[in-house]
Amino acid sequence: MFSWIKNKWNSFMNNEELKRKIYVIIFEADTPLGKAFDVALIVCIVLSVLIVIMESVISHKLVGLSMRIVEWVFTVFFTLEYLMRLYCAKNPRKYVFSFFGIIDLLATLPAYLGIFFAGAQSLMVIRVFRIIRIFRIFKLFSFLKEGQLLLRALYDSGRKIVVFFLFVLVLVISIGTVMYLVEGDVEGSSFNNIPNSIYWAIVTMTTVGYGDITPVTPLGRFLCACVMLLGYTILAVPTGIVSASMIKTGGKKDEKPCPHCKRVGNEPDAVYCKYCGKFLEEIEY
Amino acid sequence: MFSWIKNKWNSFMNNEELKRKIYVIIFEADTPLGKAFDVALIVCIVLSVLIVIMESVISHKLVGLSMRIVEWVFTVFFTLEYLMRLYCAKNPRKYVFSFFGIIDLLATLPAYLGIFFAGAQSLMVIRVFRIIRIFRIFKLFSFLKEGQLLLRALYDSGRKIVVFFLFVLVLVISIGTVMYLVEGDVEGSSFNNIPNSIYWAIVTMTTVGYGDITPVTPLGRFLCACVMLLGYTILAVPTGIVSASMIKTGGKKDEKPCPHCKRVGNEPDAVYCKYCGKFLEEIEY
Amino acid sequence: MFSWIKNKWNSFMNNEELKRKIYVIIFEADTPLGKAFDVALIVCIVLSVLIVIMESVISHKLVGLSMRIVEWVFTVFFTLEYLMRLYCAKNPRKYVFSFFGIIDLLATLPAYLGIFFAGAQSLMVIRVFRIIRIFRIFKLFSFLKEGQLLLRALYDSGRKIVVFFLFVLVLVISIGTVMYLVEGDVEGSSFNNIPNSIYWAIVTMTTVGYGDITPVTPLGRFLCACVMLLGYTILAVPTGIVSASMIKTGGKKDEKPCPHCKRVGNEPDAVYCKYCGKFLEEIEY
Amino acid sequence: MFSWIKNKWNSFMNNEELKRKIYVIIFEADTPLGKAFDVALIVCIVLSVLIVIMESVISHKLVGLSMRIVEWVFTVFFTLEYLMRLYCAKNPRKYVFSFFGIIDLLATLPAYLGIFFAGAQSLMVIRVFRIIRIFRIFKLFSFLKEGQLLLRALYDSGRKIVVFFLFVLVLVISIGTVMYLVEGDVEGSSFNNIPNSIYWAIVTMTTVGYGDITPVTPLGRFLCACVMLLGYTILAVPTGIVSASMIKTGGKKDEKPCPHCKRVGNEPDAVYCKYCGKFLEEIEY
């Protein structure tokens, strides 16, 4: 009987026809069934996340228990779906280490961890990342293209932003220490150690300003005013970086290669290629 | 006698001459009477909104009662005006479902709802939207053009902003849950459930920073600092989007098509068309 | 003896030579004496403003009295200086109604008003506006040019900003009223009337976020989160307006007219005029 | 024996071979030994800063004592390193007054000052500035280039920002005084003197909004709303300045002079010089 199971398993694992059928349903959204599956998946994800969020609010025992049960139904469904994806993926290894592969795994793990560690099941909200699939269902590839433009603009500015943050880090450590020296000795001061002062410096320079830690001495308030005006000015730097990058990226997105010399870089309104001088094809809008 | 009323009503409803006269007064602002009507309307709107606002402050009985009476005078006036507009509109159906048609209806409804539901009359402040008509009275069409440019810049960036907000939503749900796990167990913590933690995440990432919910544990403060620096960086993204869009829109607004080849795209100061080389007509400033 | 005084006065008032000498000293900064006068004036202004500020802190009687005396010395000095300016100005009427003429008058008035109304002398800090004269002393006309560029950028965006603020006003009145309806009934709520709720809406949408008024109900917090995200987005609008305007203004400032056709508009790096095709003179940097 | 020491000292001080060897190790990062030294240095700096920060948190006596000892080990190491740098520098005078020379000195001084003045050793966090050397170790010159671009953009906007801050200073002093007059008389008000009111004005206009000082009277709240909307608008100014400058600088950074006519200004993707029409050399990416 064991060999019979083994045979069945082998024929199941090598059933390329079945794999292809399931692949079309769960990986694509072109067929009615594939689209229905994706819509159902999004609904499950949203419901599941809402339940995790609501569970932290409700203290009623019976409601809590029924929520737990629904949660486990979703978890089992997501686990089966994950195994299905592994089964029918053209390259299972590649899927496992892809962005969505990791998210799909992380979406099920916390529920199982929650058996051993109390609280871990709250991490199930990570499922919310799976919602990004929504773009595929509605064929909103152009939306994703916008997202890619945003990411490209951020990536292009990446090095500038790294340098900027290193500078900010050096600055908040220095400012935090100075404020600790100035305000630390005041009775009942919240600047009671350097980490708290650094936290205050970050709260102030990002203009968040909770007000849980505020200076009370005249000198402290004067320094604080300087820090705020400094934060005001350097707030402009990341905005400037991203704006400049976005204007540049935005300016580039209409470019397409010349049909003759294949070089990219002509402005969107050019009639003749500026590299080879030949007539560019009419651009349809 | 009923048929006499019916006859009068019919002749009134079909009196095109009267309709045209009223139309000129309440829909246009070119005649002295039309202008006077519009100015009176704006004054009524401002007074009416001010009374609704003041009513929430004053607890004196007699003053409150007299305010109520004035409110009802305005409401009756606005209702009559709405019926008048319906009567004389060239296409009543189109007016009812236009932006101003809906606002005009919403401006009168809350008063009548207030008879049945206490508090509903405060919604009368929606009348403030009718103030947008001010642009028509003073013939400030160019102001409206500026507004349209703003709206166009926002609309052009619409898809980018939708993607951005979906990303922010996914982010604040994840951050809120992590903070709930980190800070939720502290005695008397305000991170007592996930919705509150998400609210905190939004308060922090938008740099509003009320300070009604703040982390107190060292780990919580460290995570909070990371969230603030993240919010600082991504604050730059919508600004960059709108700036880039506004620079693009601003650059385009002076362009007009070449009178010879009908192509759009010459810079505002060009004398010869850059596509066909012919002389562009003199542009008057 | 009265006629003797009258004669002296007339000859003094018509002494054009004396007027010219005083004019060079107090209105110009080219001669050593004129420069010394202006430096002394700035020092007096700074000291005088510092004394007004410090007076609000110090409660010691003797120190307060001596400060009052110093204040009056400065006030008498500024009053005499104002009369001098009136005396020697080429066109006294024009001076009185100029920006600096009004500031110079406002700088002395509060001290005299302070005799009758307690507290009015604090308004003497308006003298701080006279400090703008500092640019003239150090011949920092280029700094003023930068300031004019800033003002021009703000002025160019003026109409867009007016439309934007009208929109914000309509928005905060509506949002404030909705929050008053949602949160107003809660025991001890700070949303106790519509003006307070509008104040809260402005505090939130500008991302200032004092935290003196915060929502406590779940619905209130949800609406608050929406308002914050809205504020986050529309914060980008004025920044975009000013950025776009500044880039435009900045781009224009390097342009100078063609020496042949006198038309302005060639790009800073052009060699041949794009309007008449003639050779542009070498531009020195 | 004294002359023997003197001889040894002189030969040590003039041992150019040794100087060159040490120079390669501590000033450069091309050899394995030089790189190892720099990595060790960064590790020491980070550890040393972390210890200073942690020392302000920990109150345990024994741990505090051992931290002190480690601190002194680092201080002695940094002092020796500073002397070494002085010894082997090609131009010691130039090193002492260079940016890193001053930072290296300031990194050791506070420890010695801490013997005489309690608290001074907290200033050792200034060592964090030495971390900027990290760019050299990893040969991240391009990162430094990005940093220089940031600094150039800030420097180019320097004058505009100076004018802007003078304007902000005049504004906050005036606003602070007006709020002191309006809110100062209220029982238990935090607007109890002008410096506090100015501090509040800065907290508000930078949109930090701690909430430690907030208006309570209706007039105060109305003025506060105006100040916030004003701050909202002028927040756009520095952002606009830096954005405009960064777009300009960013546009310029890819330009290099034409090899034929030596003029700068061709766009990065040009093949033929736009000034002399000759073929530009191939640009390697």
Cβ neighbours for C247, distance < 8 A, ≥ 6 positions apart: B247, D240, D243, D244, D247
Write down which chains contact chain B via at least 3 CB pairs under 8 A. A, C, D
Chain length of chain B? 285
Q: What is the H or E stretch that residue C209 is in?
A: none
Count of other CB atoms within 10 angstroms of residue B78:
22
The domain B151-251 is classified under which CATH number: 1.10.287.70, 3.90.1150.10, 3.50.50.60, 2.40.50.100? 1.10.287.70
Q: At what angle do helices C158-183 and C141-156 cross, to 10 degrees?
A: 60
A236 contacts in chain D (CB < 8 Å): 238-239, 241-243
Q: Give the CA-trace dihedral at A51, A53, A57, A58, to 10 degrees.
A: 10
Say whether pLDDT at D221 is over 50.
Answer: yes
What's the CA angle centered on A85, arms A83 and A86, to 5 degrees?
A: 65
pLDDT band at C200 (very low <50, low <70, confident <90, very high): very high
Say whether pLDDT at B251 is over 70.
Answer: no
- Burial label for C204, CB within 10 Å (0-12, 13-18, 19+), is buried
Per-residue confidence (pLDDT) for residue A265, from 0 to 100: 60
CA distance A126 to chain B (A): 6
Average pLDDT value for residue range D108-115: 83
Asked whether the beta carbons of B260 and A235 are under 8 A apart, the reply is no
pLDDT band at B262 (very low <50, low <70, confident <90, very high): low
Chain length of chain A? 285
- Burial label for B214, CB within 10 Å (0-12, 13-18, 19+), is buried
Per-residue confidence (pLDDT) for residue B202, from 0 to 100: 93
C57/D193 Cα distance (integer angstroms):
5
- Which residues face D254 on adjacent strands? none
Range with the poorest average pLDDT among A239-248, C76-85, D85-94, D243-252: D243-252
Asked whether the beta carbons of B55 and B67 are under 8 A apart, the reply is yes
Average pLDDT value for residue range B235-260: 66
Q: What is the H or E stretch that residue C145 is in?
A: helix C141-156
Per-residue confidence (pLDDT) for residue C263, from 0 to 100: 62
% of chain D exceeding 70 in pLDDT = 78
Q: At what angle do helices D32-55 and D61-88 cross, to 10 degrees?
A: 140
CB contact (8 A) between residue C208 and residue D207: yes
Say whether pLDDT at B198 is over 90.
Answer: yes
Q: Would you call C279 helix, strand, or coil by DSSP?
A: strand
Average pLDDT, chain B: 79
CB contact (8 A) between residue A210 and residue C211: yes
Per-residue confidence (pLDDT) for residue A261, from 0 to 100: 66
Torsions phi, psi for C184 (to 5 deg): -60, -30
Local structure of residue C281 (DSSP, 8 states)? P
- Which residues face A272 on adjacent strands? A279
Asked whether the beta carbons of C214 and B212 are under 8 A apart, the reply is yes
Q: Residues D51-104: pLDDT tens digits?
A: 888 888 887 888 888 888 898 899 899 999 899 888 888 888 888 888 778 888
pLDDT band at B271 (very low <50, low <70, confident <90, very high): low
Per the model's pLDDT, the better-predicted residue between A79 and C164 turns out to be: A79
C253/B37 Cα distance (integer angstroms):
47
What's the CA angle centered on D142, arms D136 and D145, to 5 degrees?
A: 100
Per-residue confidence (pLDDT) for residue C266, from 0 to 100: 56
D245/C246 Cα distance (integer angstroms):
9
Please report, as a single letter, which amino acid is at residue D237. V
Q: Would you call A272 helix, strand, or coil by DSSP?
A: strand
Local structure of residue A178 (DSSP, 8 states)? H
Asked whether the beta carbons of A126 and A99 are under 8 A apart, the reply is no
Over chain A (285 residues), the average pLDDT of each successive run of 10 is 85 85 82 85 88 84 87 90 88 85 85 79 75 62 61 70 80 89 84 91 91 91 92 78 72 54 57 58 35
Write down which chains contact chain D via at least 3 CB pairs under 8 A. A, B, C
Minimum-distance CB partner of C125 among D177, D225, D228: D177
CA distance D281 to chain A (A): 14
B130/B62 Cα distance (integer angstroms):
29
Tokens coding B29? 């602002």
CA distance C200 to chain A (A): 16
Q: What is the H or E stretch that residue B256 is in?
A: none
Cβ pairs bridging B and C (under 8 Å): 129
Write down which chains contact chain C via at least 3 CB pairs under 8 A. A, B, D
Domain ranges of chain D: 2-139, 151-251, 254-285
Long-range contacts (CB closer than 8 Å, 24 or more residues apart) made by B42-46: B42/B131, B42/B133, B42/B134, B42/B137, B44/B74, B44/B77, B44/B78, B45/B107, B45/B127, B45/B128, B45/B130, B45/B131, B46/B131
A221/D195 Cα distance (integer angstroms):
9
CA D124 to chain centre: 15
Q: Residues C16-65: pLDDT tens digits?
A: 888 888 888 888 777 888 888 888 888 888 888 888 888 888 878 888 88
Q: Residues D174-214: pLDDT tens digits?
A: 899 889 888 888 888 889 888 999 999 999 999 899 989 99
State the pTM of this model. Answer: 0.80
CB contact (8 A) between residue B142 and residue C159: yes
Per-residue confidence (pLDDT) for residue B227, from 0 to 100: 92
C208 contacts in chain A (CB < 8 Å): 209
pLDDT band at C225 (very low <50, low <70, confident <90, very high): very high
Minimum-distance CB partner of A180 among D56, D128, D245: D56
Average pLDDT value for residue range B214-234: 89
Q: Can you say whether the dihedral through the CA atoms of C45, C51, C54, C56 is positive or negative? A: negative
HEC assignment per residue over chain D: CHHHHHHHHHHHHCCHHHHHHHHHHHHCCCCHHHHHHHHHHHHHHHHHHHHHHHHCCCCCHHHHHHHHHHHHHHHHHHHHHHHHHHHHCCCHHHHHCCHHHHHHHHCCHHHHHHHHCCCHHHHHHHHHHHHHHHHHHCCCHHHHHHHHHHHHHHHHCHHHHHHHHHHHHHHHHHHHHHHHHHHCCCCCCCCCCHHHHHHHHHHHHCCCCCCCCCCCCHHHHHHHHHHHHHHHHHCHHHHHHHHHHHHHHHHHCCCCCCCCCCCCCCCCCCCECCCCCCECCCCCC
Average pLDDT, chain C: 79
Alpha helices in C14-88 (DSSP H): 16-27, 32-55, 61-88
From A168, B222, B62, D174, select the one nearest C103 (Cα to Cα).
D174
Residue of B nearest to C217 (CA): B196
Local structure of residue B117 (DSSP, 8 states)? S
What's the CA angle centered on B84, arms B80 and B89, to 5 degrees?
A: 155
Per-residue confidence (pLDDT) for residue A144, from 0 to 100: 59
DSSP per residue over B54-103, as a string? HHTT---HHHHHHHHHHHHHHHHHHHHHHHHHHHH-SSHHHHHTSHHHHH
B30/B24 Cα distance (integer angstroms):
8
Alpha helices in chain B (DSSP H): 2-13, 16-27, 32-55, 61-88, 92-96, 99-106, 109-116, 134-137, 141-156, 158-183, 194-205, 218-234, 236-252
C271 contacts in chain D (CB < 8 Å): 275
Per-residue confidence (pLDDT) for residue D21, from 0 to 100: 87
- Which residues face A279 on adjacent strands? A272
Q: Can you say whether the dihedral through the CA atoms of B194, B199, B205, B211 is positive or negative? A: negative
Per-residue confidence (pLDDT) for residue C253, from 0 to 100: 42
What's the CA angle centered on B281, arms B277 and B284, to 5 degrees?
A: 140
B228/D176 Cα distance (integer angstroms):
29
User: Longest C-alpha distance within chain A, in Å?
Assistant: 86
Per the model's pLDDT, the better-predicted residue between B279 and A114 turns out to be: A114
Asked whether the beta carbons of D272 and D279 are under 8 A apart, the reply is yes
- Which residues face D272 on adjacent strands? D279
Say whether pLDDT at B282 is over 50.
Answer: no
Per-residue confidence (pLDDT) for residue C284, from 0 to 100: 29
Asked whether the beta carbons of B267 and B252 are under 8 A apart, the reply is no
D2-139 has which fold?
A: Four Helix Bundle (Hemerythrin (Met), subunit A) (1.20.120)
Asked whether the beta carbons of C205 and C176 are under 8 A apart, the reply is no
CA distance A119 to chain C (A): 23
Residue of A nearest to C207 (CA): A208
D249 contacts in chain C (CB < 8 Å): none
Q: What is the H or E stretch that residue A29 is in?
A: none
CB contact (8 A) between residue C123 and residue D232: no
Average pLDDT value for residue range B206-219: 90
A156/B240 Cα distance (integer angstroms):
14
